[in-house]
């Protein structure tokens, strides 16, 4: 049966019953070039306020998402994905990421600066996140 008819349901901008074939194709092409796409996403949530300082308690929730990290010096991968790397790296994902999240991969922390949605017509393909390397975690 056609995957577009049966489809795969994902969270985010995907419509139920529609299979995102372009994202899967891009993932398999870049995976053959030695790219690992399982990364840890750290999202900041604020807890209770401290009575003395007025600061909120920081809580980090970690989840594993699929993201292709393209470093600034990986020219051939960026061209294959159709991405311009503006900062230290670019992250391509179909999962939800927002500005301010931290991405952890290969003993390196990145901060998500901006997130851009990429469409093919009215079909969502992926999110492109501009990543800046965080040296304070190392």
Query: What's the pLDDT tens digit per position in 17-55?
Result: 445 667 777 777 766 665 667 888 999 888 899 999 999
**Average pLDDT of the segment spanning 53-72:** 87
Whole-number pLDDT of residue 115:
92
CA-to-CA distance for 5 and 33, rounded, in angstroms?
30
CA-to-CA distance for 95 and 64, rounded, in angstroms?
10
Average pLDDT in the chain? 76
DSSP string across 94-124: SS---TT-EEEETTEEEEEEEEEEEEETTEE
The yes/no answer on whether domain 20-134 falls in CATH 2.30.29 is no
What tokens were used for 84? Answer: 């311009």
CA-to-CA distance for 50 and 57, rounded, in angstroms?
7
Answer whether residue 91 shows pLDDT above 80.
yes
The total of other beta-carbon atoms located within 10 Å of residue 81's CB is: 22
Q: Is the model more confident about 87 or about 112?
A: 112
């Amino acid at each position: 049966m056609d995957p577009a008819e049966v489809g795969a349901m994902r969270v985010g901008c995907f419509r139920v019953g529609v299979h995102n074939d372009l994202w899967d194709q891009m993932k398999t092409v870049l995976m053959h070039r030695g790219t690992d796409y399982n990364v840890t996403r750290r999202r900041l949530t604020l807890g209770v306020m401290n009575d003395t300082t007025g600061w909120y308690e920081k809580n980090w929730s970690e989840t594993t998402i699929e993201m292709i990290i393209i470093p600034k010096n990986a020219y051939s991968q960026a061209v294959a994905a159709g991405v311009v790397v503006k900062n230290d790296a670019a992250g391509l994902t179909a999962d939800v990421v927002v500005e301010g999240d931290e991405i952890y991969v290969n003993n390196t922390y990145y901060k998500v600066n901006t997130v851009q949605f990429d469409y093919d017509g009215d079909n969502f393909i992926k999110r492109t996140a501009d990543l800046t390397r965080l040296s304070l975690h190392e």
